[in-house]
């Protein structure tokens, strides 16, 4: 399923590029997608989590939720920007390990080209049998939002996608 989505996304980017006379603009893309990676680090007994979104989409969502200007590319106050990112993700990404809700710890964020990455960690996770994820990142801003999730445990990677308004996914080992 994720492979067909990637092919569709590439086709959509090419189409968008052609429609804009060869000029790609992130403000004008035909799809809305985020990618969340969750990796269980058995040695450190942690979950390592990263979320990647188009920066302009994430800024729109932050502005809508917090009613303030969001500049993730060149923030005037990086600490305030990171605080907004953490508060937003904390409300829109919930992870349960074996039925127990896990608190996210914010590690940081960074900007790469037109994407914003945010990083989180969950401590004291010695083993995993099941991970349940509620992921409604950007749903309040984009009706057609697609959230792709990749979860790795014991070297075994599983992927699912949820599309607005669906937000729940489960992974078992």
> Percentage of the chain surpassing pLDDT 70?
83
Give the pLDDT of residue 31. 79
Determine the pLDDT at residue 113: 82
Where are any strands of DSSP class E within the chain? 33-41, 46-54, 93-97, 100-102, 105-112, 115-122, 130-135, 146-153, 156-163, 168-172
Give the alpha-carbon dihedral of 84, 24, 142, 96, to 10 degrees. -60
pLDDT of residue 83: 97
Asked if pLDDT for residue 24 goes beyond 50, the answer is no
Task: Report pLDDT digits (tens) over 104-123.
Answer: 999 999 999 899 999 999 99
Whole-angstrom distance, CA of residue 121 vs CA of residue 97 = 13
- Paired with 130 in beta bridges are 172
Sole residue written with tokens 């006379």: 21
Q: Is the per-residue pLDDT at 4 higher than 90?
A: no
HEC string of 94-112 equals EEEECCEEECCEEEEEEEE
Supply the pLDDT for residue 30. 67
Pick the closest to residue 87 from 118, 60, 115, 116 (CA basis).
118
Q: Report pLDDT digits (tens) over 150-160.
A: 999 999 999 99
């Amino acid at each position: 399923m994720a492979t067909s989505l990637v092919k569709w996304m590439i086709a959509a980017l090419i189409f968008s590029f052609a429609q804009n006379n060869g000029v790609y603009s992130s403000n004008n893309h035909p799809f809305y997608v985020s990618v969340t990676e969750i990796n269980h680090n058995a040695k450190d007994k942690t979950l390592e989590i990263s979320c990647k979104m188009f920066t302009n989409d994430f800024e729109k969502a932050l502005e809508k939720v917090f009613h303030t200007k969001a500049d993730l590319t060149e923030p005037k106050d990086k600490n305030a920007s990171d605080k907004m990112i953490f508060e937003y993700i904390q409300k829109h990404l919930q992870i349960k390990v074996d039925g127990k809700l896990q608190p996210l710890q914010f590690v940081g964020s960074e900007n790469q080209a037109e994407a914003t990455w945010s990083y989180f960690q969950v401590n004291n996770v010695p083993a995993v049998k099941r991970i349940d994820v509620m992921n409604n990142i950007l749903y309040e801003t984009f009706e057609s939002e697609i959230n792709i999730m990749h979860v790795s445990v014991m070297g075994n990677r599983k992927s699912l996608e949820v599309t607005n308004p669906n937000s729940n996914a489960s992974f078992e080992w």
